Structure 1
Amino acid sequence: MALPPAFLEELRARTPLAQLIGRKTRLARNGRQWKGCCPFHNEKTPSFYVYDDHFHCFGCGAHGDAITFLMRGEGASFPEAVERLAREAGLEVPKPTPEAAARERRTRDLHAVLAAAEAAYRRRLRQPEGRAALDYLRRRGLTEETIERFGLGWSGEGRGALAAELRAEGIEPAQLVEAGLMKPRDPDRPEAGLSDMFFGRVMFPIRDRRGRTISFGGRILGDGQPKYVNGPETALFQKRRSLYGLDQAREGVFRGAVLLVVEGYMDVIALHQAGFTGAVAPLGTALTAEQLEALWQISPEPVLSFDGDAAGARAAARAAELALPLLAPERSLKLAMLAGGEDPDTLILKGGSRAFAAVLEAARPLSVALYDLLAEGRRLETPEQRAALRHRLEAAARAIPDKALAAEYRRALLDRLFAGSRRGGPARPGAAPPRRSPVDPEAIRLERARNLLAILLRHPALLPEVEEPFAALDLPEGDCTALRAGMLRFLAEAPLLDSAALMDQLDQYGLGAAMAWALRPQGLSAASLQEAQPAEALDGWWHFFGLLRGEAELVADRDAAQLLLAETNDATAQARLIRLTEALAALRGGDPEQGLRV
């Protein structure tokens, strides 16, 4: 028998098409889709395009989905292609049983039942009984075109009216129960009969990615509770996998819109009407992993929009925690925060599309926003408090499975932690990031060197441990190399490694101005503060050393230290090997064992 369409649809949704096809031909991102040379005919100019759910070659006309690709590209039969894709997606192919055939027939029937119910709700909106609901939608600023496009309707007052109306179309109450439109009045007393799931509510059809209605949400008029109700889980509708507005957002993103996740039905509708046609919303619950996967099928970097209050911050933190283990170089997020008390619907009513465009313009990549989410509400005045935050930042980076991406996140997070000044302390949680100037690699290198030198100026007791790598490090010429020479000279001559004594000696060497530059508070790491603990200062020093030295040089240093330790079995060589391994691990993302394996 034929496989259930619902199973095939989920199989296609769970198969990243660009990743599948990228095993056969090199693909490059081209706007919202991918482009490459067609694997089915020889061509030198790419004309093969891969979209979120299908491919098309404008040269030879090849067209299809993931199943078609395996059948055409590898000569697999339909069952073989389905079996392979199901195995990779973690799905079990349904067995061809009479019971499965009956379930499939019922599923097809449920689509028809829900379509009939939607038509009935829409008719009622235009009848006298729906006047209050229609007036409500108009007061919310919705146009007639928008009301029609989203299929909005009115449930009526219940009392079996829907069942009576649809009986004329051959739809029985039992089918309405299976579709989530009616429910038993008392589950323990079948004789009590059925009641409508929705009554006295404005109705919002919930559709799948193909535009078929799979359930409804309803909003009560007035002050009753709950304000919004979604249909129950059914054979067609699972909240954790569904997103409101997904069918229309797919089309919007294909035409260049930003894929945008907001909180509610009215937010989605208002955004679409204002021109932000990539908006979707979860269905009354926090964002799920399945919903994130569905979003990434459409766009590599969706924007999550949250209210700018405490609840919005908590929702953003939950979304970040959920997303980290799922991130990949081609799958990330942006976060956009609204002002406190505003949501997209009210913001657009007050300020129009320009007001929300400004929110989108200020959206920050997850790699930038994550620090503020993790540091929110934490005091960062003592070494212990900063160390606790550092552990939290490193744990977040370790949650990312891709090692290279984890290393980039770790570096970005720790750079923020070490970027505090003596005046302001570590980077302030919740502070809006400054506008970025064009990247100047030499200026960045100079600042890293300045931090490394400032740590030693405040903590010269570290000099004996880092003398050899410090002496060999390639520093910017000028004040940096002069200060290093002065410090190494002081180390050779001084009986006591004291910060005040070191600075007095450097001043006698004529390096007072260089010291003042190195200790300028703005942009200095917390590790360079006088009150930093020795371990914190040493960690900070190796952090900047790793950034300045570079990965290839650190690998060579580590390998040389391994050889020296093998030859001498010396404690100093062992300590150096450990530190170099830690520096290399820090540069790569915090896994010391990885550093030892290379």
Structure 2
Amino acid sequence: MRFGEDFIEELKSRVKPSDVIGRTVKLRRQGREFAGLSPFNKEKTPSFFVNDEKGFYHCFSSGRHGDVISWFQETEGLSFTEAVERLADEAGMALPAPDPGAAQKAQRQKGLVEWMEEAARFYAAELGRVRGRHARHYLENRGLDESAWGQFGMGYAPASHSALKDYLLQKGANLGALVEAGLLIAPDDGKAPYDRFRDRVMFPIHDARRRLVGFGGRALSAEAKAKYLNSPETPLFHKGSTLYYYAHARTAVRKASANGLIVVEGYMDVIALTRAGIDHAVAPLGTALTEDQLRLLWQAGPEPILCFDGDKAGQQAAHRALDRALPLLEPGRTLRFSFLPAGLDPDDMLRQRGRAAMDDVLRDARPLVDVLWEREREREPLDTPEARAGFKKRLREIAGEIGNKEVASFYTSDFFARLDVLFRRPSRVPSGRAPAKAFPSQGLRNIAKRQVSGLAEQRFLIAQVIAHPQILTKADETFANMLLSEDALIRLQAAILEHWLASTSVDRESLHRHLTHEGFADDLKQLERRTIPVPEQSETDRVTRWMQTAQDLIGRMGLADEQAARRQQLLDGLKRGDQSSLRALGAARESVKPGDEDDGAV
């Protein structure tokens, strides 16, 4: 049976050589490789190495070298076909049906790739020539120097209908192949084909096998109909099955010891992150994530992070990706979501706030289940039995969309646990067992990151007042009564109250000016970095949920102080030899049921 190159590469990408070889050879990790005694020669010192990143093994004592397919051929005497069939069975891949034209198709694709590579060389050369000057200026203004142009293979497509065509024809190309590769456009009226990309900064696009299969072009003219233009669907390029910079990022994610790739919106975001040292980022090609792209992400790691703007459009993009992923979720396959401050993309974030701020955003990536819960929770007020019943029905239907029944069952349990807390019902846990850890009771509290002492909630409440001072018209006393645990937050609280008491009218701009004038500029930046963006909501909902969160925080901290004082009183009695204090302390501890202890999580 003849197997296509695509099938073989996909097969090898699904298994790690160390997993296969490790069944019969005892391997020990050494840096990026695994080492063991040679299976081909008797030896006392390991000379056999396996490299998962590069997909091969090498034996220095025997000189043998190969991949997972040749491993079965070498060690079990299988033919190539038998080795592929064995590996496909283990990887759960169906064997392709016999295709008499496969060899011819592979040869044709190889020829198209060669013309794509020649086009890339042409574009790169044009970037350095006189007519590429404004393209160079554009890239330099984006902070990209000549080293970046070479690193990412950037180029320039001249503002000409035939510059690339003439160049490639001189190299021996035929028009049909160039049209098939997507480099030229053949008009419907039968006129001569012309260059597809004109007056654009060019970005080469590679597939998972590192073949150059397409281009993306960024327009330099304000009159261009499309700001970004990708190659069309071709025998090489399938937009919905390709991710920009995937082959590089898939290798880099292992070096970074990350749980998955980072997904951003466009080429420039990927380039900015890579230049900042976060080089396991990829981007879809101008469309929402497809099922094929999600599968590519999961091949590289179990928990890719989808990084979106914190505005309404970013929320909607996150929700589209979430809905697309739900049926595909499996154990070890999920998504996490990071939201940038509104109005900033990763490139802006890195330029304005630096690598540390970007790391904070990625570190605070939220599980898919949290984002899903908040979306459904915020759809409508839950102030009637009918609305609550509808909310519960939606959650049940959403869990039913998950293809893996085990994962669906856990989502259902998770949702019902949150519903119990939200609607203040006792947790349904068998007697004598510790209840599951409670989830925050309101949508707003879900946004705050769980941290000891409620510090994330405190930051969140302060940030909300700074962003929406009108909260103080109904909650200034509650705001004043908040006991904060961080010096910077205490100073901010005092400065806000000072301005509130001294002014007849306070809006966001005037409050921000006052705080900046009082020397809080750095504190405001730190607060914005550490506070997760909030979905848009009505003023009434914002004030109501702010009050609920603040009162809950005040209540918890007051209860903690009361309990601490009582325990100290009892301990003081013990020091005096008061036996009743010993009995009271024991009774107090027994009265706290397992799992009821406050771990301080927000």
TM tier, shorter chain? 0.5 to 0.7
Query: What letter is aligned with 1:432?
Result: I
Partner-residue secondary structure (3-state), 1:419: helix
Aligned to 1:125: 127
Native 8 Å contact 2:11 2:88 kept in 1? yes
Q: What are the superposed Cα offsets for residues 397-418 of structure 1, whole Å, 9 maximum, x if unpaired?
A: 3333444433333333332332
Flag the 1:34–1:393 CA change in 2: closer, same or farther, 3 A. farther
Q: Using structure 1 for the length normalisation, give the TM-score.
A: 0.64
Q: Using structure 2 for the length normalisation, give the TM-score.
A: 0.64
The alpha-carbon deviation at position 280 of structure 1 amounts to 0.4
Match of 1:333 among 331, 335, 338: 335
Match of 2:70 among 64, 68, 81: 68
Aligned to 1:54: 55
Distance in 1 separating the partners of 2:265 and 2:418: 30
Flag the 1:51–1:367 CA change in 2: closer, same or farther, 3 A. farther
| 5+ long unaligned stretches in structure 2 | 426-438, 454-553, 558-592, 596-602
Flag the 1:52–1:176 CA change in 2: closer, same or farther, 3 A. same
Partner-residue secondary structure (3-state), 2:197: coil
Distance in 2 separating the partners of 1:27 and 1:307: 47
Query: What letter is aligned with 2:194?
Result: S
Q: Would you say 1:400 and 2:399 are equivalent positions?
A: no
Aligned length, in residue pairs: 439
Q: Would you say 1:171 and 2:200 are equivalent positions?
A: no
Aligned to 1:317: 319
Query: What letter is aligned with 1:242?
Result: T
Flag the 1:30–1:23 CA change in 2: closer, same or farther, 3 A. closer
Q: Would you say 1:208 and 2:207 are equivalent positions?
A: yes
Partner-residue secondary structure (3-state), 1:323: helix
Aligned to 1:511: none
The alpha-carbon deviation at position 214 of structure 1 amounts to 0.9
Native 8 Å contact 1:244 1:265 kept in 2? yes
Question: What RMSD in Å do the two structures reach over aligned CA positions?
Answer: 4.0
Q: Would you say 1:197 and 2:158 are equivalent positions?
A: no
Q: Would you say 1:232 and 2:232 are equivalent positions?
A: yes
Deviates more, 1:274-283 or 1:61-70: 61-70
Native 8 Å contact 1:183 1:195 kept in 2? yes
Flag the 1:68–1:290 CA change in 2: closer, same or farther, 3 A. farther
Partner-residue secondary structure (3-state), 1:335: strand
Distance in 1 separating the partners of 2:196 and 2:448: 47
Distance in 1 separating the partners of 2:187 and 2:417: 60
Identity of aligned residues (%): 40
Aligned to 2:247: 247
Native 8 Å contact 2:298 2:304 kept in 1? yes
Q: Would you say 1:89 and 2:93 are equivalent positions?
A: yes
Q: What are the superposed Cα offsets for residues 538-573 of structure 1, whole Å, 9 maximum, x if unpaired?
A: xxxxxxxxxx999xxxxxxxxxxxxxxxxxxxxxxx
Aligned to 1:573: none
Q: Would you say 1:292 and 2:291 are equivalent positions?
A: no
Q: Would you say 1:384 and 2:379 are equivalent positions?
A: no
Query: What letter is aligned with 2:107?
Result: R
Partner-residue secondary structure (3-state), 1:244: coil
Native 8 Å contact 2:199 2:221 kept in 1? no
Partner-residue secondary structure (3-state), 2:422: coil
Native 8 Å contact 2:27 2:36 kept in 1? no
Query: What letter is aligned with 2:198?
Result: F
Native 8 Å contact 1:25 1:37 kept in 2? no
Flag the 1:432–1:276 CA change in 2: closer, same or farther, 3 A. same
The alpha-carbon deviation at position 16 of structure 1 amounts to 4.4
Native 8 Å contact 1:260 1:278 kept in 2? yes
Query: What letter is aligned with 2:96?
Result: E
Deviates more, 1:44-53 or 1:267-276: 44-53
Q: What are the superposed Cα offsets for residues 331-358 of structure 1, whole Å, 9 maximum, x if unpaired?
A: 2221111122211112112112222112
Query: What letter is aligned with 2:246?
Result: L
Aligned to 1:218: 217
Query: What letter is aligned with 1:433?
Result: A
Partner-residue secondary structure (3-state), 1:141: coil
Distance in 2 separating the partners of 1:34 and 1:324: 35
Q: What are the superposed Cα offsets for residues 30-71 of structure 1, whole Å, 9 maximum, x if unpaired?
A: 899998999969999999867367354889898654433554
Flag the 1:25–1:410 CA change in 2: closer, same or farther, 3 A. farther
Aligned to 1:413: 415
Distance in 2 separating the partners of 1:381 and 1:65: 61
Native 8 Å contact 2:73 2:83 kept in 1? yes
Query: What letter is aligned with 2:447?
Result: A
Q: What are the superposed Cα offsets for residues 311-336 of structure 1, whole Å, 9 maximum, x if unpaired?
A: 21122122222222322332222111
Distance in 1 separating the partners of 2:218 and 2:127: 13
Query: What letter is aligned with 1:81?
Result: A
Q: What are the superposed Cα offsets for residues 354-375 of structure 1, whole Å, 9 maximum, x if unpaired?
A: 2211211211122333312333
Query: What letter is aligned with 2:180?
Result: E
Distance in 2 separating the partners of 1:410 and 1:36: 44
Q: How does 1:353-392 map to 2 (within 5 A)?
A: 353-392=355-394
Query: What letter is aligned with 1:80?
Result: E
Native 8 Å contact 2:18 2:52 kept in 1? no
The alpha-carbon deviation at position 390 of structure 1 amounts to 2.1
Native 8 Å contact 1:50 1:56 kept in 2? yes
Partner-residue secondary structure (3-state), 2:106: helix
Q: What are the superposed Cα offsets for residues 186-232 of structure 1, whole Å, 9 maximum, x if unpaired?
A: 2xx32x11121111111010012343211101110133321111101
Match of 1:270 among 272, 286, 294: 272
The alpha-carbon deviation at position 394 of structure 1 amounts to 2.8
Q: How does 1:566-585 map to 2 (within 5 A)?
A: none
The alpha-carbon deviation at position 169 of structure 1 amounts to 1.7
Query: What letter is aligned with 1:151?
Result: G
Distance in 1 separating the partners of 2:51 and 2:140: 40
Distance in 2 separating the partners of 1:166 and 1:92: 35
Native 8 Å contact 1:265 1:281 kept in 2? yes
Partner-residue secondary structure (3-state), 2:168: helix
Distance in 2 separating the partners of 1:79 and 1:117: 36
The alpha-carbon deviation at position 393 of structure 1 amounts to 2.3
Native 8 Å contact 1:32 1:253 kept in 2? no
Flag the 1:408–1:172 CA change in 2: closer, same or farther, 3 A. same
Q: How does 1:142-157 map to 2 (within 5 A)?
A: 142-157=144-159
Partner-residue secondary structure (3-state), 1:107: helix
Partner-residue secondary structure (3-state), 1:89: coil
The alpha-carbon deviation at position 296 of structure 1 amounts to 1.7
| 5+ long unaligned stretches in structure 1 | 439-519, 524-547, 551-598
Distance in 2 separating the partners of 1:23 and 1:93: 31
Distance in 2 separating the partners of 1:164 and 1:73: 53
Query: What letter is aligned with 2:443?
Result: R
The alpha-carbon deviation at position 383 of structure 1 amounts to 2.6
Aligned to 1:9: 9
Q: What are the superposed Cα offsets for residues 222-279 of structure 1, whole Å, 9 maximum, x if unpaired?
A: 3332111110111111112111011221232132164211010111111111111001
Distance in 1 separating the partners of 2:278 and 2:253: 10
Native 8 Å contact 1:71 1:78 kept in 2? yes
